[in-house]
């Protein structure tokens, strides 16, 4: 079984994660820019962070045979500071040509404030101008429903191409609106407090796997990259085939991220014919 | 711990467990009927319903856990 982990924050994880993910079948990860647990004070801090995830982190993952891609952005939580956000945004285009940068993300809303909306819109316009893929964070807990609605309205007003936009952290009360509008939807699994592997398996069964992504968003908080494998086990235990698993956990990320020419991992199809073993192949 | 501390510390865990319970009951409702000859209404589901009712009942004593465990116990001593 091969996995692509489409939302993973490697800079806050130990190298042991990469070793264990490789052992567990992960062939690639994509690392969005996010909040590091405290607010950056300087634009240069963001630039160094973008350098870290676009230049250094791929070398760390490569030691274990894992491809590492990334997204750059001012994350929603820090976008409250308009002047700092705009200073960072002027430097972002210089990263778009780097070989592992897939697009702009995660942008979006955290507390649904006016300033967050302003920077969200400006980063979306930047993505449209430079034809970048977009990864959108939706708020957690009580702010999610309103934040998702505001997100959908903004995307509609800007005429964003739904096929190139992934709206993340959907749950039962937001997934339908996202899929109905034609966007990709991501379900983010956590060991506690938020989406669980069994609930994600439920939604795969209810809505089907088309334009649905599953990720673990392992970061500096209580989280684990292996909730992805837990979800695959849950899905398999309900009788879903190996090809269905590969479609969800490998091929769907390959399909969405593969819209960037830099992401060169193709979907996998299992052969319908059994492959002869070495004994029977001998004369 | 005071009452606010309890909610500060355990609210998110409770929210998560509540959603898991709701998702499990939804899963049950969506699931296919059991094979012919098997009772469609399982006694365990009825017990869960009674236990959920206990959760929302006010009580003079903080004894919801004990009452639910008694409800879920073999009645034959």
A124/A158 Cα distance (integer angstroms) = 8
The SS3 of residue A101 is strand
What confidence tens digit (pLDDT) does each residue in A161-219 have? Answer: 999 999 999 999 999 999 999 999 999 998 776 799 999 999 999 999 999 999 998 88
Together in a domain, B9 and B27 = yes
A185/A135 Cα distance (integer angstroms) = 10
**Residue A234: its chain B contacts at CB < 8 A?**
none
The ipTM estimated for the assembled molecules is 0.88
Whether residues A196 and B23 touch (CB distance < 8 A) is answered with yes
Domain count, chain B: 2
Give the CA radius of gyration of chain B: 16
Q: Please tell me the number of Cα atoms within 13 Å of A51 on its side-chain side.
A: 7
Domain coverage including residue A123? 3-260
What's residue A274's pLDDT? 66
Q: pLDDT tens for chain A, 283 residues: list them.
A: 999 999 999 999 999 999 999 999 999 999 999 998 889 999 999 999 999 999 999 999 999 999 999 999 999 999 999 999 999 999 999 999 999 999 999 999 999 999 999 999 999 999 999 999 999 999 998 899 999 999 999 999 999 999 999 999 999 999 999 999 999 999 999 877 679 999 999 999 999 999 999 999 888 888 899 999 999 999 999 999 999 999 999 999 999 999 999 999 999 998 766 666 655 544 4
Domain count, chain A: 1
CA distance B38 to chain A (A): 20
Whether the pLDDT of residue B51 is over 90: the answer is yes
The answer to the question of residue B64 being in a domain is: yes
What's residue A167's pLDDT? 98
Taking one residue from A and the other from B, the number of pairs with CB-CB distance under 8 angstroms is: 27
Give the containing element (helix H, strand E) for A29: strand A26-31
CATH number of the domain within which A134 lies = 3.20.20.140
Q: Is there a contact between A136 and A166 (Cβ–Cβ < 8 Å)?
A: yes
Whether residues B20 and A193 touch (CB distance < 8 A) is answered with no
User: Quick count: other Cβ atoms within 10 Å of Cβ A246?
Assistant: 20
**Residue A192: its chain B contacts at CB < 8 A?**
12-13, 16
Q: Which two tokens stand for residue A257?
A: 């991220």
Together in a domain, B70 and B45 = yes
Together in a domain, B51 and B75 = yes
The answer to the question of residue B72 being in a domain is: yes
CA B35, B41, B46, B49 dihedral sign is positive
Together in a domain, B51 and B77 = yes
Domain coverage including residue B13? 1-31
User: Quick count: other Cβ atoms within 10 Å of Cβ A76?
Assistant: 27
Cβ-Cβ contacts under 8 Å for B65 (sequence gap 6 or more)? none
Together in a domain, B25 and B56 = no
The answer to the question of residue B36 being in a domain is: no
**Residue A172: its chain B contacts at CB < 8 A?**
23
Q: Does A229 touch chain B (CB under 8 A)?
A: no
């Amino acid at each position: 079984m091969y996995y692509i982990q489409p939302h993973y924050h490697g800079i806050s994880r130990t190298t042991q994660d990469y070793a264990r993910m490789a052992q567990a079948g992960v062939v690639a990860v994509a690392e969005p820019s996010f909040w590091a647990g405290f607010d950056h004070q300087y634009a240069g801090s963001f630039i160094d962070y973008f350098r870290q995830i676009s230049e250094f982190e791929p070398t760390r993952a490569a030691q274990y045979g894992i491809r590492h891609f990334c997204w750059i952005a001012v994350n929603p939580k820090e976008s409250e500071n308009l002047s700092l956000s705009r200073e960072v945004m002027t430097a972002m285009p210089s990263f778009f040509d780097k070989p592992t940068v897939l697009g702009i993300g995660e942008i979006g809303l955290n507390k649904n404030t006016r300033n967050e909306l302003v920077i969200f819109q400006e980063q979306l316009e930047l993505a449209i101008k430079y034809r970048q893929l977009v990864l959108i964070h939706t708020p957690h807990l009580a702010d999610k429903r309103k934040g998702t609605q505001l997100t959908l309205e903004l995307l509609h007003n800007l005429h964003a191409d739904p096929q190139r936009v992934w709206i993340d952290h959907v749950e039962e009360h937001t997934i339908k609106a996202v899929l109905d509008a034609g966007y990709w939807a991501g379900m983010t699994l956590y060991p506690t407090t938020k989406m669980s592997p069994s609930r994600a398996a439920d939604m795969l069964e209810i809505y089907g796997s088309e334009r649905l992504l599953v990720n673990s968003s392992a970061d500096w908080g209580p989280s684990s990259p292996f909730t992805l494998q837990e979800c695959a086990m849950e899905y398999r235990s309900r009788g879903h085939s190996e090809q269905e698993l590969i479609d969800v956990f490998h091929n769907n990320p390959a399909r969405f991220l593969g819209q960037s020419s830099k992401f060169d991992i193709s979907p996998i199809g299992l052969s319908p014919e059994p492959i002869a073993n070495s004994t029977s192949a001998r004369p | 711990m005071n009452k606010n501390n309890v909610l500060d510390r355990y609210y998110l865990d409770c929210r998560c467990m509540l959603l898991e319970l709701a998702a499990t009951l939804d899963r049950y409702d969506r699931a296919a009927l059991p094979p012919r000859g098997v009772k469609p209404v399982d006694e365990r589901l009825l017990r869960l319903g009674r236990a959920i009712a206990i959760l929302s009942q006010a009580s003079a004593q903080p004894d919801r856990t004990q009452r639910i465990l008694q409800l879920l116990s073999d009645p034959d001593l």
